[in-house]
Chain A
Amino acid sequence: MISYFGVRHHGPGSTASLVAALDQLRPSVVLVEGPSDATGLLPLLADRAMRPPVALLGYAADDPRRAAFWPFAEFSPEYQAVRWALRNDVPVELIDLPVLAQLDDAAPAEAETEDGTAGPGEPDRPGSQPDDRRDPISALAAAAGYEDPESWWNDLIEQNPAPGPIFAAVGNAMAEYRNHTTTDEHDLRREAHMRRAIAQAAKNADGPVAVVCGALHVPALAAKHTAAADRALLTGLPRRSASITWAPWTNARLAYASGYGAGVSAPGWNQHLWQTRGRADVATRWLARIAAELRQAEHLVSTASLIEAERLAVALAALRDRPQPGFEELREAAVSCLFGGDPVLWNLVADRLLVGTQVGTIPEGVPLAPLIDDLQRQQRLTRLRPEALPRELALDLRTDSGAARSVLLHRLRILGVGWGQLTDAGRSRGTFRERWVLAWDPTFAIDLVDKLVYGSTVEQAAAGLLAEQLGEATTLGALATGCEQAMTAGLPTAVSVALRLLADKAALSSDAADMLGAIPPLVDVLRYGQARRTDAQALGSLVEHLVVEASLSLHYAARPADADASDVLVGLVVGVDRAIRLLDEAVSAGLATVWDTGLAAVVGDDQTSPKVAGCAAQLRYASGALAAADVVLLVQRRLSPGTRAVVAAAFLEGFFTQAAERLIYDADLRDAVSQWLTDLDEDEFVAALPLLRRVFADLGASDRTRLLAAALGAGARRAVGVRLAGDGGAGWERQLAVVARLLTAPTGGADRG
């Protein structure tokens, strides 16, 4: 004897009726809709440590990107049916097409044709969109005069306190529905497969057989089909087998809004219904949860208001002819009584209530995809619980736990698993604090499975993937950045690989710019690194090598023709200089000397770009290698009357890159510049003006005022007496001519203003 239980996937009401029906029927075998090759994994659901929501993750072993999930929530009928069978020592089997057959079938038709009754039996494929072309529940609800199909099903099945022989009734309704619609090829094949599995099980069973499947399939499964016809439908099934494992799932992914076609509109509410099944105080407890959430959000809610809200909800349900308040009634009552009519407040708590933040857990020892398994272990070790809704996390890297968490998150980032997003832009190692936003998405499981080729633990895989990327890197800068990444993620093997590649490349490289770019990240690694001793030594000598090489070739590199290249070079030189200055005295003393020699060569060489030369001179001055008097001399020489004003101005710009304040404090320097400026004739001044303007653009308004005061000395006060000419008059004509010349003046490539 075969009994068919047409359920609504993830419907807690179906689940409760189903468990009661199974208790009564006491079947000798339970058959459940779901990929047949995953049957072996079902007993794990009985494990105490297995906490739903979890999902079967099936993927093609040779192409993990082709994957699908079959989620099970605590309130899913399938989950409870399996649990019932395991509890009662009854064999349980999954009877749908195997994973690969389902993947192959669905591949051409991108969109999954989901219906209201589809669910854990129906795979959730990343990227698949729900499709409402065929929704039997809507059709039936409309026939019953309901606007909202959810409410219809809820009233009739989920919240019907005294359900009759509902499974028979649902089966009849679906049969009627299917008489008026067509079923696609994929579903026909699935049903054929299920029929064959059912027939097989019925032959072997010595008692009643229970079939738990989506309501829509019931008529097709119960109908008579010849074995030959079914066989014909099932020819050409792929013979390969898929890799299947359990993966933690989230409530958020069960919601329609997530794009899971078989989802429900409010998994949090469904969960609540399941947890309070058989109780009279479903509404009361739900309102109490709303109040708790509101109080957590620091809104005061009185118990008296809760009472009023419940009364209103009951009145609303009566007005709408519903047997009990559903979540719409409770929501509207809450908005009216608890939130002062303000729906915005409701949105504040809606996500947490209706969706929920739960993420399932898989017990230790379950043959997970190795990376997922390792990640779970790491999560336990670092006490980072995956949660579905975004949460901020501040880490103190000085503590062990903070460092461990940071390392894990950085490794996952390398693997392309965006569980944590760094919120503060900029250097992660420049400070001992890191701010992350964590949000777990079950599809990360696929990202992890996809990276299995690189290693079977998070650490190995991250190191492997990074090493591969390093191997493909073409510039020293990219290698150095990779090295820094490896260091932040605590991947010593990748650091070693990066260092080896860097050393190889640096030996061959003669491109100073490339070498300069690699130095700052490497110095960062050296400063903060906990690289192994040998690595530290290797790194130290590598940095030394790079600095020496770069210093030697610097003044050749500093002879570029165009302004853009010198801008880049100035940036690099400043960066390297800062990096060297930040190094420990012991390490940097020698390096600083070498570096200074390189800078001196740039300054001393008349063929170098004036801008880079200016920058180098300034850096030498700042480090004390150049005495104040020498600087003044140098500036005077560079700004001497014979030099073209444009070249002189470029030198000045380089000199004052990020150092324009110097002019405020250094009187000698200011005098030198001032002297040069006042000696310029008008044409030269106009030509140099855009460059000069750029020099001072870095200064803030108050600094400019101070510079002006310093330049004019006590005479600054004279400006007060200056009055604007009333009509502008002849002066205006003159100014206009200057402006016109400014706009048309050829100022060389340096003028981009």
Chain B
Amino acid sequence: MSPEILRQPAEVAYAAELAALRRDDDEPRPVGWALSPKRVLTYLLGGKASDGTTVVPKYVGNRRLLETAVATLATDRALLLLGVPGTAKSWVSEHLAAAITDDSTMMVQCTAGTDENQIRYGWNYAQLLAHGPSQDALVPTPLFRAMQQGRLCRLEELTRMGSDVQDTLITVLSEKTLPIPELDTAVYAARGFNVIATANNRDKGVNELSSALKRRFNVVVLPVPDSFEEEVSIVSRRVAETAVGLDLPVPKNVDDEIRRVLVVFRELRSGATADGRATLKTPSGSLSTAEAIATMIGGLSHAAWFADGRLSADGLAQTMVGAIVKDPVQDKEVLSEYLETVVKKRKDYAAYYAALNDAL
């Protein structure tokens, strides 16, 4: 693919790592897998390939959870990644697909407007009208193609689409077939086919999974990063990667600023100061790790284009306020209370106190 592409799929961006891991992979692997399950784990959690290539960690957190996810896909059970927004569900799903089948592009983004035609198959109406129902008139969906080719299909935000549409997956997941009654035939999934779905377990407008469907998934809940250091390392890594992708220079002080921003995010998220001495009101937004990353990228962009490469509280404040204040009345109060009671007293946050107050 050409370098003009804004964001390369994982298997392209990390092609060198995947190739290095694949080179002498003599462990047994399930049918259709490009890597053995253990190498998949190495790819996700980081390590070294046998030829010395460094594999950067794609997920920082509980190893056991990822082991469960990989082991699930190694059986023929579908995997459901659950979590609050910004816990790297889609990120993990993309990298799982990239590592296992070397193809993370078979993806359906589920929305409230997704209908059965986008899940099962659609029709090319010109063909249909001209020649009647036939294989040629069929428009395959990513799921359809994944079944034919024995690949992984990703369903993003599964619970955003309607329950009736969700339930079309039941046959696919239990019988591994997709009937096409119009042609009196069916697609039988090739070995290696499986589904990775992601879903939000705390969001408005979510259609609860039916228990029939839920039973067909093994569920892995991705938690919010536990420790401060863990979250710092996640944000630093993603910020560095994204900055490279966007050709943004990374100033020296970025790590310090990440720490400060994360302290603010974590304190507001947990409703208590880091030392546990004071309780705080929590804003209505989820203040996820993903939002912290976006805030930092926004700050870097501001620094690169408008501040001669200097990353400062001024550049970050506007985006921070945007992330924290989701409800214009309530959250504003929460934030100004936090600023006055906590931030004001901290000497090293003086710049943030001023900048955030300005932005408010």
Contacts and interface: CB of A to CB of B under 8 A. Distances in A.
A677 interface: no
Given A308-B77, A342-B221, A343-B221, A332 B64 contact: yes
B185 interface: no
Interface string A337-350: 10111110000000
B296 to A, nearest CB: 29
Interface stretch (B117-125, B163-171, B212-220, B281-289): B212-220
Interface stretch (A240-248, A314-322, A481-489, A690-698): A314-322
B71 interface: yes
A305 interface: yes
B259 interface: no
A336 interface: yes
A474 interface: no
A311 B219 contact: no
Nearest to B30: A315
B295 interface: no
Contacts of B38: 319
Nearest to B216: A308
Best-buried of B74, B82, B214, B218 by chain A (most CB within 10 Å): B218
Contacts of B215: 302, 304-305
Contacts of A308: 75, 77, 218
Interface in A46-94: none
A106 B340 CA distance: 56
Contacts of A302: 215
B37 interface: yes
A312 B68 contact: yes
Mostly helix, strand, loop or mixed at chain A's interface?
Answer: helix
Given A328-B64, A341-B80, A319 B70 contact: yes
Interface string A167-186: 00000000000000000000
Interface in A319-335: 319-320, 328, 332-333, 335
Contacts of A339: 219
A319 B71 contact: yes
Contacts of B220: 336, 341
A312 B218 contact: yes
Contacts, number: 59
B68 A316 contact: yes
A413 B67 CA distance: 50
Contacts of B41: 319
A340 B67 CA distance: 16
B218 A336 contact: yes
A311 B77 contact: yes
Interface string B167-203: 0000000000000000000000000000000000000
Nearest to A313: B71
Best-buried of B68, B70, B72, B219 by chain A (most CB within 10 Å): B68
Contacts of A305: 215
B75 A315 contact: yes
B64 A340 contact: no
A308 B38 CA distance: 21
A333 B68 contact: yes
Nearest to A343: B221
Interface string B18-61: 00000000000000000001100100000000000000000000
Contacts of A340: 82, 214, 219
B64 A337 contact: no
B77 A312 contact: yes
B74 A315 contact: yes
Contacts of B75: 308, 311-312, 315
B219 A312 contact: no
B64 A315 contact: no
Contacts of B214: 340
Contacts of B80: 341
Contacts of B74: 315, 318-319
B37 A319 contact: yes
Best-buried of A308, A318, A319 by chain B (most CB within 10 Å): A319
A9 to B, nearest CB: 27
A335 B62 CA distance: 15
Contacts of A304: 215
Contact of A332 (B37, B68, B77, B82): B68
A163 B130 CA distance: 72
Contacts of A311: 75, 77
B67 A341 contact: no
A316 B221 CA distance: 17
Contacts of A341: 80, 82, 219-221
A315 B70 CA distance: 9
Interface in B101-118: none
B53 to A, nearest CB: 22
B72 A336 contact: yes
Nearest to A316: B71
A311 B214 CA distance: 17
A148 to B, nearest CB: 11
A316 B218 CA distance: 13
Contacts of B37: 315, 318-319
A312 B82 contact: no
Interface string B70-86: 11101101001010000
Nearest to B83: A341
A69 B215 CA distance: 47
Nearest to B201: A341
Interface in A671-715: none
Best-buried of A305, A312, A341 by chain B (most CB within 10 Å): A341
A335 B74 CA distance: 17
A319 B72 contact: no
Interface string B91-109: 0000000000000000000
Given A308-B77, A311-B75, A319-B74, A336 B67 contact: no
A339 B215 CA distance: 10
A343 B70 CA distance: 19
B196 to A, nearest CB: 14
Nearest to A305: B215
Nearest to A147: B63
B80 to A, nearest CB: 7
Contacts of A320: 67
A164 B215 CA distance: 42
Contact of B68 (A318, A336, A342): A336
B64 A312 contact: no
A431 B62 CA distance: 53
A319 to B, nearest CB: 5
B81 to A, nearest CB: 9
A339 B82 CA distance: 13
Contacts of A328: 64
Nearest to A341: B219
Contacts of A318: 37, 71, 74
Contact of A315 (B71, B82, B219, B221): B71
Interface in A261-312: 302, 304-305, 308, 311-312
Given A332-B68, A343-B221, 18 more contacts: A304-B215, A305-B215, A308-B75, A308-B218, A311-B77, A312-B71, A315-B75, A318-B74, A319-B70, A319-B74, A328-B64, A332-B67, A336-B218, A339-B219, A340-B82, A340-B214, A341-B219, A341-B221
Report, nearest first, the 8 A-B pairs whose CB atoms are least far apart. Answer: A341-B219, A315-B71, A341-B221, A316-B71, A336-B218, A311-B75, A340-B219, A315-B74
7 contacts: A308-B77, A312-B71, A312-B72, A318-B37, A318-B71, A319-B38, A333-B68
Interface of A: 302, 304-305, 308, 311-312, 315-316, 318-320, 328, 332-333, 335-337, 339-343
